[in-house]
Amino acid sequence: MNPQSPKEITDYYKHLSLFWTDLIHLMASKPQALTSTGPMRAFATSSKKIATELIEINEKLMEFNKFYTEYYKQLSDTWSVAQKKVNQKVPDVPHDVEQFEAFKRIWIDIFDNDFTELFDSEKFGENYGKLVSKELELTKHWTNISNVILQSANLPSKEEIDEVYKELHALKKRVTKLEIELKRKKEDKR
Amino acid sequence: MRSEARIDPKLVEEILKFTRNVVDAPKLVAAPDEINLEVTPHEIAQVIDKTRLLHYKPLTDKQHKTPLLISYALINRYHILDIHPEKSWVRNLLEQGFDVYMLDWGSPTSMDKYLDFDDYVNGYLDSCVEFIKDETSTEKISLQGYCTGATIATAYTALHPENVKNFIATAPVIDGWRDTTVISNLAKHIDVEKMVNTIGNMPPEFMYYCFSVLKPFEQGIEKYVNFFKNIDNKKFVDNFLRVEKWLGDTPPIPGELFKQWIKDIYQDNLLIQNKMFVGGSHIDLKKIDMPLFTQVAVGDHLVSPECSMPLHYAVGSQDKTLRIYPTGHVGMIASSLSQKKVLPELGQWLSERS
């Protein structure tokens, strides 16, 4: 195999990592199983997950950087254009208080207008949406890694806690409905 | 830039004075944390989960018969409606003889991520309306919603018109596709499903970001320069710090509520098209048939007038009034203009119907 594209390279290293962690785990799991209740056993069982997540984080990081660079490029381009406009409008250095106040007003108005125009634009919205999306994917991988560590310490994962929250929310809704029904029945009896 | 003349000594003096003000500031003014934002006396009438129903103490001997419930926005806290005795929306209404209640949505935590539109409309808001009806022995109340709180109030009024005698919509978020603000542009491009599934609630830091890009230089630089320039002006400083403290208090928005909010209002624009559902019930704006008073600000850069005004034309009410004010989103509720014009007009309209 001769990986070429960044995706092929990532997939290759992911496979390599999974192959060796799986194989070492299989070779070593029998004597390890004797201490199956300890945290190290639990951690070792799912440690390959951490390796996989780290490789995927690296891949996502490259995509994230692309949108992050574009984000700052848009900001710096807008800054340059706005500054040029200010220089054209106020070619002289302000020398007294009135001139300085007028310069400041012009500077703020031009910068606010240009930046608001940028933030209102389709190109900014689109890139920003993708940037946030990639950031969320990185967060997801980080959560997955944290879950491995949490589970090795016999603590509930984020998904398990979410299940409890969901159940609690559903129960609260049912109780509220029952309370309303009970109140209505009491009122009907009167 | 060309530089030829010498610098005016007054300018140097101004800079030195400004530097002195920055150094002296901590000695002259309180830290935002030390300021109490609860201005007008009230009692906590009801608590459900993290929400509180506040009941303000009357300031007149006689009061109008119909109580008024204010449904504040989901962004920041209710304090802006009672930020300063001289600019308090609540105090002004109390002085006009209204019996005022306020719904404080509280600060949701991770465990509240599954709270949705249904919980806010048919749960919290409905329970407050029922409580006030019981407490005041009235069959209907007046309901005012501000900003996103007005959207929740709109959904409520359409689903429970039998409980609402008068409806006041102040800068309501109604027609997401017509909204021309930066917030709407960002909202349209967000993968909200992924956001909520990954991080749960809408984090307050994200809200800070959305606000910081609105007039970034005016809000990010100029207003702080003005603050230090006016550090000796007690009234200015007090008002500034109160508003700043309010701006910084941005609670998270429950994930499921935020998801439906962004999708149904900004991305798919279902509310104004009468295609939105809350808790399985269809929201038909034509069912809003009671007197309606819509307040819109021309300079609103958070909810553009084009986004709010369609409510006036979409409802079934015969008795409806639309008022457009020459101010901004916050100026409409907490400024001298709101005290001199917005509130007297609202008070007169409401007193004739209360």
Question: Which value does ipTM take for this structure?
Answer: 0.79
Q: How confident is the model at residue B150 (pLDDT cuts 50, 70, 90)?
A: very high
Mean pLDDT value across residues B57-63: 94
| Continuous segment of H or E residues that includes residue B293 | strand B292-297
Which of A91, A119, A162 has its CB closest to that of B185?
Answer: A119
> What single-letter DSSP state applies at residue B6?
P
Are the CB atoms for A97 and B159 separated by under 8 Å? Answer: no
Beta carbons of B191 and A108 less than 8 Å apart: no
Q: What pTM does this model have?
A: 0.86
Which residue numbers in chain A have pLDDT < 70? Answer: 1, 28-42
Q: Considering only alpha carbons, which residue of chain B is nearest residue A83?
A: B1
**Residue A127: φ, ψ to 5°:** -65, -40
- pLDDT of B311 reads 98
Residue among B114, B163, B192 with most chain A CBs within 10 A, to mutate: B114
**Does A95 contact chain B (CB < 8 Å)?**
yes
Give the C-alpha separation, B12 to B65, whole Å: 61
**Residue B112: φ, ψ to 5°:** -95, 10
Q: What percent of chain B has pLDDT over 70?
A: 98
User: Which is more confident, A27 or B198?
Assistant: B198
Identity of the residue numbered B82: D
Cα distances from A56 to residues A62, A141, A165, in angstroms, run 10, 8, 29
- pLDDT of A36 reads 63
Beta carbons of A136 and B190 less than 8 Å apart: no
Give the C-alpha separation, B155 to B276, whole Å: 9
Active-site annotation of B, residues: 147, 300, 329
Q: Are strands B281-282 and B277-278 parallel, antiparallel or unpaired?
A: antiparallel
| Continuous segment of H or E residues that includes residue B281 | strand B281-282
Are the CB atoms for A130 and A146 separated by under 8 Å? Answer: no
Identity of the residue numbered B309: M
Q: Using CB atoms and an 8 Å cut-off, which of residues 35-94 of chain B contact chain A?
A: 49
Mean pLDDT value across residues B55-64: 95
HSE-up of A127 (CA within 13 Å, CB side)?
17
Residue B129 CA from chain centroid, whole number: 19
For the cut 70, the answer to whether the pLDDT of residue B24 exceeds it is yes
CB atoms within 10 A of CB A38: 12
For the cut 60, the answer to whether the pLDDT of residue B133 exceeds it is yes
Q: What tokens appear for B33 in the block?
A: 């944390």
- pLDDT of A67 reads 96
- Domain map (residue ranges) of chain B: 9-37+204-251, 39-185+257-351
Q: Considering only alpha carbons, which residue of chain A is nearest residue B7?
A: A95
- pLDDT of A39 reads 67
Give the C-alpha separation, B301 to A147, whole Å: 42
Are the CB atoms for B38 and B50 separated by under 8 Å? Answer: no
| Continuous segment of H or E residues that includes residue B42 | strand B42-48
Beta carbons of B195 and A136 less than 8 Å apart: yes
Could you tell me which CATH number the domain at B39-185+257-351 has?
3.40.50.1820
Q: How confident is the model at residue B145 (pLDDT cuts 50, 70, 90)?
A: very high
For the cut 90, the answer to whether the pLDDT of residue B316 exceeds it is yes
Mean pLDDT value across residues B37-56: 94
Q: What tokens appear for A15 in the block?
A: 């496979």
Q: Considering only alpha carbons, which residue of chain B is nearest residue A91?
A: B1
> Which residues have CB under 8 Å from B314's CB, separation 6+?
B174, B272, B274, B285, B286
Residues of B in contact with A111 (CB under 8 A): 216-217
Residues of B in contact with A165 (CB under 8 A): 110-111, 113-114
Burial A128-164 (b: 16+ CB within 10 A, else e): bbbbbbbbbbbebbebbeebbbbbbeeeebbeeebee
- pLDDT of A86 reads 92
Distance from CA of B84 to the nearest CA of A (A): 29
Q: Give me the count of residues in chain B.
A: 354
Instruction: Please provide the average confidence, as pLDDT, over all residues in chain B.
Output: 92
User: Which is more confident, A132 or B222?
Assistant: A132
Coil/strand/helix, residue A182: helix
Q: What tokens appear for A141 in the block?
A: 């991988």
Q: Are strands B68-71 and B51-56 parallel, antiparallel or unpaired?
A: unpaired
Give the C-alpha separation, B291 to B306, whole Å: 21
> What single-letter DSSP state applies at residue B200?
S
Give the C-alpha separation, A181 to A177, whole Å: 6
**Does A5 contact chain B (CB < 8 Å)?**
no
Which of A120, A168, A173 has its CB closest to that of B185?
Answer: A120
Which of A91, A104, A133 has its CB closest to that of B1?
Answer: A91
Identity of the residue numbered A77: D
- pLDDT of A1 reads 59
In SS3 terms, A26-55 reads as HHHHHHHHCCCCCHHHHHHHHHHHHHHHHH
Identity of the residue numbered A107: W
Helix axes A6-33, A39-89, angle to 10 degrees: 150
- pLDDT of B327 reads 94
- pLDDT of B161 reads 98
Q: Considering only alpha carbons, which residue of chain A is nearest residue B206?
A: A132
Residues A163-176 have pLDDT tens digits of 999 999 999 999 98
